[in-house]
Amino acid sequence: MSTLEGKMRGMSLRHALLGLLVDQPASGYDLLKRFDGSLSAVWPATQSQVYTELTKLAGDELIRVWKAGPRGRKEYALTDAGLVELRRWLTETKPTRQRRNDVLLRVFFLGVLSREQGIDYLDGLAATASRELDGLHKLEEETDWDDSDLSVYGRISLEYGLRYTAMRRDWAAWAVDQLTDRPE
């Protein structure tokens, strides 16, 4: 097998996959649906990427083929080494500082446009965030929250989304206000 040492900077897709395999074995196809669902808000991944990474993970013996099914289906299960690696990632690697925000980059250069256009842009941001917030509130109501780990930490993640989105809405509205008061 390959050394497993070496670079390994971000590599969070690996750990997302490992995390999803903790509870039960799953195929690439199964995992993909998880990425299209709840996880897409936090760590999107494409079909191509998932299958490629699963093969690499199996090569590194962090997961292994547990069961084969019809249509070439391969169910992967986490290995002991895989769980160790997941725990290592959670405890020993520090999160990479969140960067690269093209919304804010535009704000930086809004002076190139007219004051009115600048206000339009920020108004649009507020409206988008507002709509997004409605969706999250609906999601919160419609979900049955229990005491399972998934539920507890899922609820905490959702709360982040709620606060983050509300913050963006309020900030954009505040910015519009700042620009409206002031002469061109």
CA distance 156 to 168: 18
Pick one of 29, 51, 66, 121: the residue that binds a copy of itself (CB under 8 A). 121
Residue 155 CB, nearest approach to DNA (Å): 25
Instruction: Give yes or no for a contact between 63 and 82, defined as CB atoms under 8 angstroms apart.
Output: yes
Q: Is 13 in the site for DNA (CB under 7 A)?
A: yes
Q: Is 9 in the site for DNA (CB under 7 A)?
A: yes
Pick one of 96, 142, 144, 146: the residue that binds a copy of itself (CB under 8 A). 96
CA distance 64 to 8: 20
Taking the least distance from each CB to a copy of itself, the nearer of 1 and 105 is 105
Q: Is 60 in the site for DNA (CB under 7 A)?
A: no
Q: Is 69 in the site for DNA (CB under 7 A)?
A: yes
DSSP string across the chain = -----S---S-HHHHHHHHHTTTS-EEHHHHHHHHHTGGGGTS---HHHHHHHHHHHHHTTSEEEEEE-GGG-EEEEE-HHHHHHHHHHHHHSPPPPP---HHHHHHHTGGGS-HHHHHHHHHHHHHHHHHHHHHHHHHHHHS---SSHHHHHHHHHHHHHHHHHHHHHHHHHHHHHHHHHS--
Residue 132 CB, nearest approach to a copy of itself (Å): 9
CA 153, chain centre distance (Å): 14
Q: Is 27 in the site for DNA (CB under 7 A)?
A: yes
Pick one of 22, 65, 68, 127: the residue that binds a copy of itself (CB under 8 A). 22
Q: Is 74 in the site for DNA (CB under 7 A)?
A: yes
Taking the least distance from each CB to a copy of itself, the nearer of 55 and 128 is 128
Would you tell me which residues interact with a copy of itself (CB under 8 A)? Answer: 10, 12, 15-16, 19, 22, 39-44, 83, 86-87, 89-91, 95-96, 98-113, 117-118, 121, 125, 147, 149-150, 152-157, 159-160, 163-164, 167, 170-171, 174-175, 178-179, 182
Binding stretches for DNA (CB under 7 A): 7-13, 27-30, 44-49, 51-55, 69-74, 100
